[in-house]
């Protein structure tokens, strides 16, 4: 698509409507009114109905090579990760390390890996190891989980493939016929901000992090607040009935976790399971509801001597709701949560606090930290897009064949060749994926599981919104305002204003959305200032991935939010100094390197 310089500075009705739609989109994403993919779709549909964009422009993203590359890299990441697996990380995280030594090693490892593999699955993969190390050494996990997220964000900026933000930007540049950014545009500045981030976290940030108690331990110490133990007495009318016929299968706000019958533990409990005299039934959920149930004289009673202190019989699982989950915005009672995940929600935490009230009436939000009671048949991998399980890593029982490690190393080298431009990145990713499939490392079931059509919707719609901003002249209007704000102090002030606006925008919405919205504005700024566009595009790339002050602007922040027991204020306290360092470092380097 050729560059168009609109030169529009007068405010028009269409510009006002476009800016209003974008503002409503940002608000919807921030408030989580709807699922992110649906929010983007409604915004783009409104632009289509207004005639701002046409169907061809809406569908451009589907033919965008860089969007295809994002999905190829997600699959390649899954394959390489399965090759090196858990035993690799188990050896790296020795319990003999001191906390600060562990912190530094963890940051170096996560940043380095995130430079070459998508950072979101890396964080999902590493959280259990970090928590496990913290539990085994008696150190609060909250001292390490925010640094884990920050390190992967910073490391992801070293290469074009480390974060989807960079690939979305490159895809936009290709659409407009602009020479795309090379690996050096990310490499030098990416390494610089990563080193600066490590130094800040090691010497200053670590002291600012809270010492939060493990919530799972709190649950175990206070089981009676979450679990109610009942028994079927000898002349109960429930004896001989199935769980379903007894009306215990679909209780509102309650879940029959397990039945103890003598020495046998029955979990999960099937609807056809027949109840016997002396059975002990454990319920989780809204405890007042079970007491109401018992008062109805339905054949259950509270035992005189409760044995609930034997908490090890319960299968507790920690989980978090990722950004983009289809569960966001739904009431728990409407989500079919129990059947979908074979688990009962014992407690939910948001912004570092337990959510009170009836579990079934709670609305799910991104970043919610859940404590679940789960059956043994739980399959975590089937629902990774909707719910990340944070189970403790299991001991590796076998060693992979040596040839698989050679395949992993070869795949990594081929990926590196694509990054530095020896071969096209698209070709490298496609070759690696084909190799992983041919050798049986990735199967089609795993590929289907990894594909995220919600992400595809967000990326395609983000590109369409960028086109609408540029085509309507709204981008030129915003660019003119930025020039007026910083024009008196020169191009560096304008560049700084662009960087700061992008950082605050990405704190409210997803980073691909932020870079898509700011792209036409950056393009218009370079045109109006008669400067090369490269420094402005590098600025929005780094700014759109620079959210350290909130848990909602970047997926990895959201992933550690609940498990670390953090509050919003923790991110503000630890992330604000890092954001200032990040802004100064980036703007100074870009101004010097590109001679702005």
Q: Is the pLDDT of residue 410 over 80?
A: yes
Maximum average pLDDT range among 38-42, 266-270, 574-578: 574-578
Name the average pLDDT for the chain.
78
Residue 102 lies in a domain: yes
Show contacts of 81-87: CB within 8 Å, 24+ apart: 81/117, 81/121, 81/122, 81/125, 82/441, 82/442, 83/400, 83/404, 83/405, 83/407, 83/408, 83/411, 83/441, 84/405, 84/408, 85/396, 85/400, 86/129, 86/393, 86/394, 86/396, 87/396, 87/399
Q: Is position 125 within any domain? A: yes
Confidence band, pLDDT 50/70/90 cuts, at residue 77: confident
- Residue 178 per-residue DSSP state: P
Across residues 210-218, what is the average pLDDT?
A: 67
pLDDT at 360: 65
440: Cβ contacts below 8 Å, ≥ 6 apart = none
Dihedral of CA atoms 460, 462, 466, 471 in degrees, nearest 10, equals 50
Mean pLDDT value of segment 154-160: 90
pLDDT at position 147 is 95
Q: How far apart are the first and last CA of the chain?
A: 26
| Residues facing 258 on adjacent strands | 282
**How much is the pLDDT for 218?**
58
Task: For residue 523, give both structure tokens.
Answer: 């393009």
- pLDDT higher than 60, residue 543: yes
Please tell me the predicted confidence (pLDDT) of residue 5.
Answer: 39
Higher pLDDT, 102 or 214: 102
**Pair of tokens at residue 122:** 């890396």
Split at pLDDT 50, 70, 90, the class of 307 is very low
Is residue 91, in this structure, part of any structural domain at all? yes
Range from 208-217, 219-228, 584-593 that averages highest in pLDDT: 584-593
What confidence score (pLDDT) does residue 27 get? 80
Question: Cα separations (Å) of 162 from 43, 368, 385, 421, 435?
Answer: 28, 26, 20, 15, 21
**401 CB burial (10 A radius; 0-12, 13-18, 19+):** exposed
Q: What is the 3-state composition of the chain as percent helix, strand, coil, each rounded to the nearest 5?
A: 60, 10, 35
In a domain, 444, yes or no: yes
Decide if 160 is inside a domain: yes
Report the DSSP beta bridge partners of residue 265.
Answer: 260
User: So what's the pLDDT on residue 93?
Assistant: 67
Residues 6 or more apart whose Cβ sits within 8 Å of residue 430: 72
Distance CA 276, CA 12 (A): 75
With pLDDT > 70 as the criterion, what percentage of the chain qualifies? 78
The contacts of residue 45 (CB under 8 Å, 6+ apart) are: none
> Looking at the predicted structure, is the pLDDT value of residue 63 above 50?
yes
The pLDDT tens digits for 4-31 are 334 445 568 888 888 888 888 878 776 7
To which residue do tokens 């959920």 refer? Answer: 285
* Confidence at residue 311, expressed as pLDDT on a 0 to 100 scale: 44
With contact defined as beta carbons under 8 Å apart, do 213 and 565 qualify? yes
In-domain check, residue 151? yes
- Average of pLDDT values for 266-292? 76
Q: Who wins on pLDDT, 567 or 155? A: 155
Residues of the chain with pLDDT > 90, as a percent, come to 14
pLDDT interval class at 225 (50, 70, 90)? low
- Report yes or no: 142 and 215 within 8 Å, Cβ to Cβ: no
**Does the structure show a pLDDT above 50 at 312?**
no
d(CA 260, CA 282): 8
Average pLDDT over residues 50-61: 81
Average the pLDDT over 67-76 and give the result.
77
- Whether the pTM exceeds 0.85: the reply is no
* Residue 357: per-residue pLDDT: 57
- Predicted pLDDT at 456: 75
Take residue 163 and report the two structure tokens written for it: 């974060």
Which of 432, 311, 384 lies closest to 559, judged by CA? 384
Task: Tell me which H or E stretch contains 431.
Answer: helix 425-438
Distance CA 100, CA 209 (A): 13
User: So what's the pLDDT on residue 1?
Assistant: 37
User: Domain total for the chain?
Assistant: 1
pLDDT at 538: 94
Q: How confident is the model at residue 585, as a pLDDT?
A: 96
Is residue 543 one of the residues assigned to a domain? no
The structure tokens listed for 289 are: 């509801």
Lowest mean pLDDT among 211-215, 222-226, 426-430, 494-498: 222-226
Tens of pLDDT, residue by residue over 227-264, are: 667 788 888 888 888 888 888 877 766 777 778 887 77
In a domain, 345, yes or no: no
Cα separation, 66 vs 180, whole angstroms: 11
Q: State the pLDDT at residue 322.
A: 75
What is d(CA 506, CA 515) in angstroms, rounded to the nearest whole number?
A: 8
How many CB atoms are located within 10 Å of the residue 380 CB?
15
Which H/E stretch holds residue 265?
strand 264-266
Domain span at residue 99 reads 66-214+401-453
Q: How many helices (H) and strands (E) does the chain have?
A: 23, 10
pLDDT, greater one: 289 or 476: 476
């Amino acid at each position: 698509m050729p560059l168009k310089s609109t030169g529009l500075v007068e405010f028009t009705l269409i510009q006002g409507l476009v800016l209003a739609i974008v503002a409503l989109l940002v608000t919807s994403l921030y408030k989580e009114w709807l699922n992110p993919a649906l929010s983007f779709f409604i915004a783009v549909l409104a632009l289509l109905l207004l005639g701002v964009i046409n169907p061809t422009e809406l569908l451009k993203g589907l033919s965008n090579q860089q969007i295809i590359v994002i999905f190829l890299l997600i699959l390649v990441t899954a394959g390489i990760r399965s090759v090196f697996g858990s035993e690799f990380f188990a050896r790296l995280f020795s319990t003999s390390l001191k906390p600060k030594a562990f912190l530094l090693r963890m940051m170096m490892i996560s940043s380095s890996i995130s430079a070459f593999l998508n950072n979101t699955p890396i964080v999902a993969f590493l959280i259990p190891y970090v928590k496990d190390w913290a539990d085994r050494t008696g150190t609060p996990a909250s001292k390490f989980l925010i640094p884990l997220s920050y390190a992967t964000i910073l490391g992801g900026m070293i290469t074009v493939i480390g974060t989807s933000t960079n690939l979305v930007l490159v895809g936009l540049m290709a659409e407009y016929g602009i020479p795309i950014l090379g690996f050096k545009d990310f490499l030098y500045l990416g390494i610089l901000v990563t080193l600066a981030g490590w130094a800040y976290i090691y010497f200053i940030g670590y002291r600012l992090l809270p010492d939060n108690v493990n919530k799972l331990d709190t649950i175990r110490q206070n089981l009676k607040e979450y679990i109610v133990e009942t028994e079927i007495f000898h002349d109960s009318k429930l004896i001989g009935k199935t769980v379903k016929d007894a009306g215990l299968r679909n209780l509102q706000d309650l879940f029959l976790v397990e039945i103890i019958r003598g020495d046998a533990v029955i979990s999960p409990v099937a609807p056809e399971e027949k109840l016997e005299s002396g059975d002990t039934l454990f319920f989780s959920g809204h405890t007042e509801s079970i007491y109401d149930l018992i008062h109805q004289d339905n054949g259950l009673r509270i035992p005189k001597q409760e044995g609930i202190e034997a908490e090890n019989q319960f299968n507790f699982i920690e989980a978090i709701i990722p950004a983009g989950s289809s569960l966001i915005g739904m009431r728990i009672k409407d989500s079919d949560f129990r059947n979908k995940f074979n688990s009962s929600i014992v407690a939910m935490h948001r912004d570092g606090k337990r959510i009170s009230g009836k579990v079934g009436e709670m609305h799910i939000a991104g970043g919610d930290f859940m404590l679940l009671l789960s059956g043994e048949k739980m399959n975590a991998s089937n629902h990774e897009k909707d719910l990340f399980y944070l189970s403790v890593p299991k001991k590796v029982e076998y060693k992979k064949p040596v040839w698989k490690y050679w395949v992993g190393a070869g795949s990594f080298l081929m990926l590196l060749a694509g990054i530095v431009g020896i071969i096209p990145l698209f070709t490298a990713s496609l070759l690696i994926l084909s190799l992983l499939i041919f050798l049986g490392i990735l199967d089609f079931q795993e590929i289907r599981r990894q594909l995220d059509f919600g992400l595809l919707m967000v990326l395609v719609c983000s590109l369409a919104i960028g086109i609408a901003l540029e085509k309507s002249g709204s981008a030129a209007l915003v660019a003119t305002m930025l020039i007026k704000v910083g024009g008196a102090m020169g191009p560096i002030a304008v560049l700084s204003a662009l960087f700061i606006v992008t950082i605050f925008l990405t704190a409210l919405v997803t980073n691909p959305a932020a870079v898509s919205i700011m792209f036409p504005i950056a393009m218009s700024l370079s045109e109006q200032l008669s400067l090369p566009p490269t420094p402005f595009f590098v600025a929005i790339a780094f700014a759109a991935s620079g959210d350290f002050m909130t848990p909602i602007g970047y997926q990895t922040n959201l992933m550690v939010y609940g498990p670390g027991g953090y509050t919003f204020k923790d991110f503000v306290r630890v992330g604000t100094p890092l954001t200032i360092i990040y802004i100064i470092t980036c703007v100074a380097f870009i101004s010097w390197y590109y001679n702005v």
